[in-house]
Amino acid sequence: MVYRLKKDELAYRKIGDEFFILTTADSMLHNIKGVGVRILELLEEDRTEEEIRAALSAEYDAPAAHIEADLASFLAELEAKGIVTSNES
């Protein structure tokens, strides 16, 4: 599955080790920290979910099943907040 940032509907900036995202549809400010920052960096590069999972597996010492579950949950949360869109929506 491919996820993409809704760049036309967001104002976002990385400051230090955090991402600040304003969703223009509802004027909500979202603060992303930790591994979420790395995921957003990869989403900026238009990576597939599989490519993001592989990059995280290479960069972080965690079980593959844990990375897969956490990534799926995080991407679903971003989609629900209107930050990303998937090829299935």
Q: Which top CATH class is 3-83? A: alpha beta
Asked if 85 contacts 3 with a C-beta cutoff of 8 angstroms, the reply is yes
pLDDT for residue 89 is more than 60: no
* Alpha-carbon distances of 38 from 12, 29, 64, 71, 75, rounded to whole Å: 14, 19, 17, 11, 12
Q: Where are the domains of the chain?
A: 3-83
CA-CA distance, 6 to 56, in Å (whole number)?
Answer: 22
CA-CA distance, 11 to 16, in Å (whole number)?
Answer: 17
pTM (2 d.p.): 0.91
Dump pLDDT digits (tens) for 23-72: 999 999 999 999 999 999 999 987 899 999 999 999 999 999 999 999 99
CA-CA distance, 8 to 35, in Å (whole number)?
Answer: 24
CA-CA distance, 39 to 77, in Å (whole number)?
Answer: 13
CA–centroid distance for 24 within its chain:
17
